[in-house]
Amino acid sequence: MRKFILACLVSFSGMVSFAQLQSPEQFLGYKLGARYTPHFNVVNYFRHVAANTGSQMKLEQYGTTNEGRPLVLAYISSAENFQKLESIRLNNLRLAGQAPDKQPGDVNAPAIVWLSYNVHGNETSSSEAAMLMMYELANPSNTKTRDWLRNTVVIIDPCINPDGRDRYVNWFNSVVGKKANPKVTTREHMEPWPGGRSNHYNFDLNRDWAWQVQIESQQRLAKYNQWLPHIHVDYHEQGINEPYYFAPGAEPFHEVITDWQREFQVTIGKNNAKYFDQNGWLFFTKERFDLFYPSYGDTYPIYKGAIGMTYEQGGGPRGGAAVINEDDDTLTLWDRLYHHYTTGISTVEISSQNAAKLVQEFKKYYDRARTVPGAEFKSYVIKGDAGDKVTRLQTLLNKNNIEWSYANAGNYSGINYYSGKSESFKTESNDIVINGNQPNGNLVKVLFERNSKLSDSVTYDITAWSLPYAYGLQAYGLNNFITATNKNVPTAPGVITGDAGAGYLVKWNGLHSARFLAALLQKKVKVRYAENDFSIMGADYERGTLIITKTSNNALGDNLRVIVQEAAKNAGVNVTGVNSTFVDKGYDFGSGSVRPIKAPRIALLSGEGVSSLGMGEIWHFFDQQLDYPVDLINANDLGRINLREYEVLIMPDGNYRFLSDKNQNDQLKQWVAGGGKIVAIENAVMQLSRADWGLKLKADDDDKKDDKKDNKKEDYSALRRYENRERDYIVNFTPGSIFRLDMDNSHPLAFGYPDYY
């Protein structure tokens, strides 16, 4: 009797809980699409659903943005699946060969669908759609979704980029009137700089899946790789005149993408098309959005065994709450979010209908990766004598769950990445080995391939990223696997060795060295650097070595060692103490060839006319990676700034109006003549070359030909067919090339490099 009463109470409790579940409109107090919902209220709605959905759904905060906003995931399935959610996750990792217990997995398991919304902050409709999606999955009266969840787990990230989204939403809500103005030329359709697309540091988070530079990506991917879903959808928006885009993707497909992954994209696309045709909504597939570059929200999941897809709705920052497009139709926020909701529901439906096959093919993907690596090489050896560049590579491998180990001493033969020739080489204990026969073998192939194989040259983004080249590492590709049993980790950096009676030395060999220097300069420590190689106390040091003498820092007394120790620990560098400034070979530390380093005062141009992404990567470098102060100055305010307060002015990619002003141009030249330094990047270099700064650009071959044929008969072969306009444009566009450069490593800018890169 007690058990019966308890069962009734539990059942009644669940009914009451569901009865309290509110729709987004009921909870927010306005109809979805009537206005934009700030992130805090999106999260509040998800919390409401979690609190009122019995035993089927939970909300988890997996991280926090730079501006302190919560990053959350919602998990929902049937009550039966929900009770064993952790077992489902662990079993899925077993299927992928990535579970800690190394046990085999069971293919009789639910499909896992992960829906990611709003990676680009000003493509705002998708977070609105996420709330409707969450409601319908949790709605007990929706018999279809209840049926799908019996064999499917759905994971929803309602907003990957809350900082960027709120930047747009707060601006839009501040400029829109009582009624939205659909005229595209009005203020509410003209988003100001820097826009909401990017995160706090103006990074494009949809290019950061593999690299995980940004905190949002790091936190999200740590959780993603604990689940490894079978389906992943990345929600976006495009121009206001574009119909909806969904899978299948466009060529080029990377060659590691399996036939099954290709086929099921078509299956999903046809199911989406069914609903769009029923509603009379236009769409397109197989165009523009290819599956090649590994750091997108569709390709990265593909290389992790999933069916990864991008869904694109027309709208974006010019969409506002309503906008009249070129067809003279009014595209509303409701239209946009409901289209996204429809593809989400369709994707869950078709995934549920094919759940068994999805799980089986997921297992096959990883089985093949572990046993039949299809890469050019079976293993890779990275030489460990490259300073912190190796450490940074190891960090990246760890973030992506790529297995590696330290090498045993031995003799091998392999292809040298830089010479392209087969060479014999020896491995040492600090070299690292990456074998291709591992669960993430396909991702290893993609990230380490020397030459990308393109089935179509018309591609959406970067086509070259090989990690040994990107990090400037000496690497070898081998045609055999290497048994690497050496688990000895080299001595952890951040220690001071030797008698430091006279001072300290730190080799200049990477970002960690620069971070160490930045910390010392901010503590008013006087630092010098060697312009030439030298030897002291039986050890050799290359040019660029940092030298901190006690004589130069008498004012700090015993606190000098404390500062050096703390900076070394935080930066991850090793410090060598020396008991004399007399060198065995080279120039003594009092020589004019051992030069002092002055802490530079740096200004970084930002604001209107400056590439927000270009500025953002520099800002992030100084603020997060180097931890060195930089003043952000609006480019339009430069004429009112006293440049004598700075030694360095950084001009990111952009279009600078002040370079067209003779007075400002002359003032800037005077500042440079007085010792100021300009660091110009991309289009800023082009502008300086046109503003009589003495910069010479190599003339294009086409320009040279034009000069020679001024008096010749017209050549009509230069005419191009209209239908080939996109392909012809690509000819002059280089989205990804890797060049070997000869380096003058006697120059301070190249200290720490070999004579090539």
**pLDDT tens digits, residue range 404-430?**
999 999 999 999 999 999 999 999 989
**Nearest Cα residue to 540 out of 579, 585, 479:** 585
Residue 741: pLDDT band (50, 70, 90) is confident
pLDDT(191) > 60: yes
Over the stretch 64-93, which tens digit does the pLDDT of each residue have? 999 999 999 999 999 999 999 999 999 999
Q: Quote the CA–CA distance of 599 and 441 in Å, as a whole number.
A: 45
Q: What is the mean pLDDT of residues 540-567?
A: 97
Q: What is the mean pLDDT of residues 343-349?
A: 99
Indicate the helix (H) or strand (E) that contains 405.
Answer: strand 405-406
Q: What is the pLDDT of residue 722?
A: 57
**Nearest Cα residue to 95 out of 442, 439, 351, 398:** 439
Q: Quote the CA–CA distance of 646 and 543 in Å, as a whole number.
A: 27
Q: What is the mean pLDDT of residues 3-25?
A: 58
Q: What is the CATH number of domain 42-369?
A: 3.40.630.10
Q: In this predicted structure, which of 109-123, 302-316, 533-547, 712-726 has the lowest mean pLDDT?
A: 712-726
Residue 226: pLDDT band (50, 70, 90) is very high
- CA distances to 66, 394, 407, 436, 634 from 481, in Å: 42, 19, 12, 8, 54
- 742 vs 509, higher pLDDT: 509
In the chain, residues under CATH classification 3.40.630.10 are: 42-369
Q: What is the mean pLDDT of residues 203-227?
A: 98
**Nearest Cα residue to 321 out of 171, 158, 179:** 179
Q: In this predicted structure, which of 265-269, 709-713, 740-744 has the lowest mean pLDDT?
A: 709-713
pLDDT(548) > 80: yes
Over the stretch 480-496, which tens digit does the pLDDT of each residue have? 999 877 666 666 778 89
Record the tokens describing residue 107, joined without a space.
Answer: 């293919």
Which pairs with CB-CB distance under 8 Å and at least 24 residues apart come from 489-492? 489/406, 490/384, 490/406, 490/429, 490/430, 491/574
Q: What is the pLDDT of residue 348?
A: 99
- 284 vs 726, higher pLDDT: 284
Cα 640 to chain centroid, rounded: 36
Q: Give the homologous superfamily in CATH for domain 602-699.
A: Class I glutamine amidotransferase (GATase) domain (3.40.50.880)
Q: What is the mean pLDDT of residues 273-301?
A: 94
Q: In this predicted structure, which of 34-38, 465-469, 632-636 has the lowest mean pLDDT?
A: 465-469
Q: What is the pLDDT of residue 734?
A: 58
Q: What is the pLDDT of residue 411?
A: 95
Q: What is the pLDDT of residue 10?
A: 41
Residues whose CB falls within 8 Å of the CB of residue 730, separated by 6 or more in sequence, listed in order:
457, 458, 459
Residue 12: pLDDT band (50, 70, 90) is very low
Q: What is the mean pLDDT of residues 673-681?
A: 97
Average confidence score pLDDT of the chain: 91
- 742 vs 585, higher pLDDT: 585
pLDDT cut 90: percent of the chain above it: 80
**Nearest Cα residue to 107 out of 293, 489, 364, 309:** 364
Q: What is the pLDDT of residue 54?
A: 78
What are the φ/ψ torsions at residue 609 (nearest 5 degrees)?
95, -15
pLDDT(2) > 60: no
pLDDT(465) > 90: no
Which pairs with CB-CB distance under 8 Å and at least 24 residues apart come from 42-46? 42/127, 42/130, 42/131, 42/158, 42/159, 43/70, 43/72, 43/158, 45/131, 45/134, 46/72, 46/74, 46/131, 46/134, 46/156, 46/158
pLDDT(207) > 70: yes
Q: What is the pLDDT of residue 1?
A: 42
Which runs of E-coded beta strand occur in 231-289? 231-238, 244-245, 250-253, 283-284
The residue type found at 217 is S
Taking the model in full, what pTM does it have? 0.91
Residue 310, classed as helix, strand or coil, is strand
Q: Quote the CA–CA distance of 226 and 65 in Å, as a whole number.
A: 20
In the chain, residues under CATH classification 3.40.50.880 are: 602-699
Q: What is the mean pLDDT of residues 244-249?
A: 95
DSSP code for 256: T
Residue 17: pLDDT band (50, 70, 90) is very low
